[in-house]
Amino acid sequence: MNYFSSDFKLGILGGGQLGKMLLFDTRKFDIQTYVLDPSNEAPSRMACNQFFQGDLMDFDTVYNFGKKVDVLTFEIELVNLEALEKLENEGLKVYPSPKTLRKIQNKGVQKDFYAANNIPTAPFERFENLDNLKSKINDLKLPFVWKCTEFGYDGNGVKIIREITDLDSLPNVECIAEEMIPFKNELAVIVCQNPSGEIKTYPVVEMEFHPEANQVEYVICPARIDEKVAEKARAIALNVSQNFNHVGLLAVEMFQTQNDEVIVNEVAPRPHNSGHYSIEASYTSQFENHLRAILDLPLGNTDSKVAGIMVNLVGEEGFSGNVVYENIEKILGWNGVTPHIYGKKETRPFRKMGHVTIVNSDIKEARKIAEDVKNTIRVISK
C-alpha cells in the first residue's frame, strides 16, 4: 500500500503529547492522520489532518471514528475495547491488537498473564475491591504495594502501604497487593515489532523517580548497569513482547533486584516516557519505529548515536493555571539541550508539561547537565 502523499488515513486514538510526537513523523513522511481525543485543546490538534473531539471509552464514538481510517493505533490504553474488537473483526487493521490490549489494560489480568507464562514478576494477590483486601489484611505482609487495576497512570493508582491506616484514603475499587521488592534500579526496554515478525529492542534505560510523586524524573540511556544485567533485561523484554504477540511498541518496565535478577513490573503497549530520549539520541526515534511497525515497514536502527538523558518537566507544586516556563531561554543556550513543550495550556502540580533531552558523549557530564536543567527551569503559572 502507498502510505506516502496518498489517500491512506492513519487513525490515532488519543491526542496527548505522545500523539503529538508521533505526528512529527507522520508529517515527515506525509502520512494523512485523523485524531480522536476528549479535549478540544489536545496537544495533537495542531499537527493532524483532521481532529475529532469525543470520548475514547464510548463504543459508538470509537467505532465510528475507526470506520473513517485504514489503520488504527492508540497512544493511551484507556480506550473502548469492544469497539476495537468489532473493527478488527470487520477487517480493520488495529495495532496493537485489542487481543493484546485486553491482556494489558487491567493490571490484575496483566499480572496473571506473567504468572501463566513464567515471566518473572513480583508475587501478588488480586482483590475485587478495597473492602475485600481489608478483610484479608492479616494474610498480607507489610509493607506492600497497592495498585488499582484500571485507570492508573503516572503514579496515580499506586501507593506503598506501610501501615494499615494507609489504606483509609484509597478508593474501593478492584486492586492488587504486590510484594515490595527491594531493588537496585528501575529499568525499561522498548521493543518494536511489525506484523511480518521483524523485532528489535532499544538499549536498556535506567529510571530515577521523584520520591513523592512516584513519577520518573530522569531517564538515562545507556543504563549504568553491568552488561550481563542489560542482556538479561533485553532478553526478558523480547520474551514478554513475543508472549503478548504484540505489534507496534511495547515498553517493558522492570526492576533489577539486589542479587541482579530482573523482574517485570508492568508494560505499556505504545510510545512511552522511557523512550523520549530516542528523538535526539537514537538513529530512529521510538515514534518513527512505532509508525514503521504498525504500517509493516522495515524497522529502523534502534542503537543510540550518543548518550542521552531525559528530564521530565512537570508542574511545580503550588502553581495551577496558565503555564509559564521560567528560565527556558537559559537552558536553550546550553550545548546538547533540547526542550519539548507538549502544548498543555494549564499547569497543575506534577502534571507532565514537557521534557528536556540532554545528549553528550559522556554520560556523567550529561547527568550533571540534566541536574542543572532540573534546577534551572520551572513550570509555574502566571
The answer on whether 181 is annotated among ligand-binding residues is: yes
Please check whether residue 111 lies inside any domain of the structure. Answer: no
Nearest-angstrom CA–CA distance, 288 and 285: 5
**How many folded domains does the chain comprise?**
4
Give which of 298, 302, 240 is closest to 275, Cα–Cα. Answer: 302
Instruction: Output the tens digit of pLDDT for each of the chain's 382 residues.
Output: 899 999 999 999 999 999 999 999 999 999 999 999 999 999 999 999 999 999 999 999 999 999 999 999 999 999 999 999 999 999 999 999 999 999 999 999 999 999 999 999 999 999 999 999 999 998 999 999 999 998 776 667 899 999 999 999 899 999 999 999 989 999 999 999 999 999 999 999 999 887 766 678 899 999 999 999 999 999 999 999 999 999 999 999 999 999 999 999 999 999 999 999 999 999 999 999 999 999 999 999 999 999 999 999 999 999 999 999 999 999 999 999 999 999 999 999 999 999 999 999 999 999 999 999 999 999 999 8
What is the domain-level CATH number for residue 66? 3.40.50.20
Same domain, 289 and 211: yes
Residue 266 marked in a binding site: yes
Residue 147 assigned ligand-binding role: yes
Residue whose C-alpha is closest to residue 263's, from 192, 183, 160, 158 = 183
String of DSSP letters for 188-200: EEEEEE-TT--EE
Domain stop point among 76, 94, 112: 94
Entry pTM: 0.95
Q: For residue 261, say whether it is annotated as part of any ligand binding site.
A: no
CATH number at residue 253: 3.30.470.20
What CA–CA distance (Å, rounded) separates 141 from 159? 15
Q: Is 159 annotated as a binding residue?
A: no
Is 178 annotated to bind ligand?
yes
Q: Does the annotation place 231 within a ligand binding site?
A: no
Determine the 3-state secondary structure of 172 from DSSP.
Answer: coil
